[in-house]
């Protein structure tokens, strides 16, 4: 597609429920990132996918968080047993991973855990 697409735009869920957030990167972009941004804060790195390499999961805050990227394209971030502190905007970005290119971000998913 023309840009990075994320769905849903907004998600309200009850504490303890599981949620899935989807990211559809720009076609041909080999690198895909998930970041989290709490209200008024900077971006917190979660996970990075690059081609067929093993993902860098070093930013995932707990084992309740997992992500996969199928066929080197669409990615799903899953949060199990959601907690109120998981409330944030989850941002996905993709890139050609070529030196000198910036990242294209999606519009994010605003997750609210009540």
Q: How far is the CB of 83 from another protein (least distance, A)?
A: 21
List 85's β-bridge partners, or say none: none
| Residues within the interface to another protein (CB under 8 A) | 4, 33, 35, 37, 39, 41-43, 45, 48, 50, 56, 58-59, 89, 91, 93, 99-108, 110
User: How near is the Cβ of 11 to another protein at its closest, in Å?
Assistant: 14
CA distances from residue 75 to 26, 27, 39, 51, 100 in whole angstroms, order as listed: 12, 13, 24, 12, 24
Gap between the Cα atoms of 109 and 51, Å rounded: 24
Q: Which is nearer to another protein, 40 or 71 (CB)?
A: 40
Q: How many CA atoms lie within 13 A of 73 on its CB side?
A: 8
Nearer to another protein, 73 or 104 (CB): 104
Taking the complex as a whole, how short is the minimal distance between the CB of residue 82 and another protein, in angstroms? 20
């Amino acid at each position: 597609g023309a840009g990075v697409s994320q769905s849903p735009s907004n998600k309200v869920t009850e504490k303890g429920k599981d949620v899935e957030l989807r990211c559809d990167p720009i076609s041909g972009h080999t690198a895909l990132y998930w970041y989290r941004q709490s209200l008024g804060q900077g971006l917190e790195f979660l996970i990075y996918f690059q081609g067929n390499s093993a993902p860098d999961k070093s930013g995932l805050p707990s084992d309740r968080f997992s992500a996969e990227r199928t066929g080197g394209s669409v990615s799903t971030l899953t949060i199990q047993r959601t907690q109120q502190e998981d409330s944030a905007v989850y941002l996905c970005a993709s890139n050609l991973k070529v030196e000198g290119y910036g990242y294209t971000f999606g519009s994010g998913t605003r997750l609210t855990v009540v």
